[in-house]
Structure 1
Amino acid sequence: MNQSDDIPALITDLIVPERDGGYSKGRETREMILRAALSILIDEGYRAMSMRRVAAACGMKFGNLTYHYRTREDLVRELLDAVIRSYEQEFDAIVHGAGLSPEQRLERYCLLVLNDITTRKTTRLFPELWALSNHDPFVYDRMHELYARARRPLLEVVAEMRPDLTAAEQEMLTLFISYSMEGSTIFAGHDKPFTPRMGCLMEVSIQAFKALVRDFKRQ
């Protein structure tokens, strides 16, 4: 199985959402803030990402930061929105790609996710947030929202491959594929024990996922 050249190995870190009545300089400032917050999350963890720490990383006064984000919750909400928008852009390009069969789109979606799991950003960021979500209801809600949005394009492909299944069955298959891939982070993510074997793991995973969707039978 060869990875297609038009499947990016890395997903853009952030796509900053527009705000009503916003202006380009304000958007650039918000992007700078979000990138600083993302860097702190990856390098030092969520607990280090205080508003004052982010302001210092941006070289701005605390009051200037709170002009754009009044609370850390506001900052986290827009940061995770910007992160998932970057994934949605790539997923949509795959799912709605012309001239591809549903199985080819499933393969490309999974390749994109599994490649991304090997990056330092993803290996550090998402386990950190999932661990925190066990104790922080706000982060818990944001993370489930993020993954639900990430699964929607995959659900489209599964539904197209198996229109005979119920909506609940299609969703169950989608969820299984999603958590199976995400679980590989701790074993084959960036600098993990099985990182060198991720290529083989990708091949096994994608063959298994395609067969699962194609051959799944109702109980």
Structure 2
Amino acid sequence: MAPTSQPPGKPNRMGAATRTKILDAAIAVLAEKGFSGFTLQSVADSAGVFYGNVTHHYATRDKLVEAMLDAILERYRARFDELVASIEAHEDGPIRALVTWLVDDAVSPETAPLFLELWAMATHNPHVAAGLTQLYDGAVDVCMKSLGVEPDAPSARGLRDSLYVLGAVIEGTSSIFSNRDRENGIYAGFRHQAIEMLVPLLEQKLAEAKANGR
């Protein structure tokens, strides 16, 4: 019997649900097993679907990696948009709230293992490298706009550069502290120093950007 065709214009909800399940499983496998353990079969097992279900939607591991990266970036952008919306009226000021959230998020179980694997993959996968670059560029733009500064304004260059310094600190935080016991005081000391050093720098650059932009 021939398969029933999908009515024109009607979304294939079953196919979309399966793709979401596969992508969720792919993200979990990458975070748990790393890229060396990231296979189509391991993703199928984690998703609870047949291997053929995975290859039907993503014929190769590279295709699955590309789709997974797009899903990760879309979800992380949504998280970041929510963060920016929540810190604008924060009692400690938007910059301190922003720095604190990013430093803590960098070592969270949801973020650290995943992004460490993505950066490792980026060294030999141009698509992953481009995706991560796009994420960080977009995050900096969102931050600047939320602080009332146009990202492309000449006066904003110092603030932009300082936000990339923050990004570098975040990546280092993941690398050094994600696998350590964060209750032993080492991370607490780093966290305090990072926040106290970065907040005045960013506040100064923000004031300069606004003053020079008038």
Same structural fold, with TM-score higher than 0.5 when normalized by the shorter chain: yes
Counterpart CA distance in 1 for 2:49 and 2:87 is 46
- Counterpart of 2:197 in structure 1 is 208
Counterpart CA distance in 2 for 1:31 and 1:191 is 32
Secondary structure of the 1:203 match is helix
Counterpart CA distance in 1 for 2:16 and 2:77 is 20
- Counterpart of 2:134 in structure 1 is 145
Map 1:87-106; keep pairs closer than 5 Å: 87-97=76-86, 100=89, 104-106=93-95
Counterpart CA distance in 2 for 1:119 and 1:90 is 14
Q: In the superposition, relative to structure 1, how do residues 101 and 48 fare at CA in structure 2: closer, same or farther (>3 Å)?
A: closer
Deviation at 1:46, TM superposition (A): 1.1
Counterpart CA distance in 2 for 1:21 and 1:195 is 55
Range moving further from structure 2, 67-76 or 188-197: 188-197
Structure number with bigger Rg: 2
- Counterpart of 2:33 in structure 1 is 44
Counterpart CA distance in 1 for 2:92 and 2:173 is 22
- Counterpart of 1:5 in structure 2 is none
Residue 88 of structure 2 corresponds to residue 85 of structure 1:
no
What is the alpha-carbon root mean square deviation over aligned residues? 3.3
Deviation at 1:212, TM superposition (A): 0.6
- Counterpart of 2:120 in structure 1 is 131
Structure number with higher relative contact order (C-alpha < 8 Å, ≥ 6 residues apart): 1
Deviations 1:43-72 (CA, angstroms, capped at 9, x unpaired): 211132122332233232333212322332
Q: In the superposition, relative to structure 1, how do residues 42 and 208 fare at CA in structure 2: closer, same or farther (>3 Å)?
A: same
Range moving further from structure 2, 96-105 or 43-52: 96-105
Q: In the superposition, relative to structure 1, how do residues 39 and 194 fare at CA in structure 2: closer, same or farther (>3 Å)?
A: same
Range moving further from structure 2, 171-180 or 117-126: 117-126
- Counterpart of 1:166 in structure 2 is 155
Deviation at 1:195, TM superposition (A): 6.5
Amino acid paired to 1:39: A
Range moving further from structure 2, 185-194 or 82-91: 185-194
In structure 1, the gaps of 5 or more residues are: 1-19
Counterpart CA distance in 2 for 1:187 and 1:99 is 30
Deviation at 1:33, TM superposition (A): 0.8
Amino acid paired to 1:64: N
Deviation at 1:175, TM superposition (A): 0.8
Counterpart CA distance in 2 for 1:122 and 1:95 is 18
Which of 41, 44, 57 is equivalent to 1:68?
57
Secondary structure of the 1:60 match is coil
The percentage of counterpart residues that share the same residue type is: 24
Q: In the superposition, relative to structure 1, how do residues 148 and 72 fare at CA in structure 2: closer, same or farther (>3 Å)?
A: farther
Indicate conservation of the 8 Å contact 1:81/1:146, yes or no: no
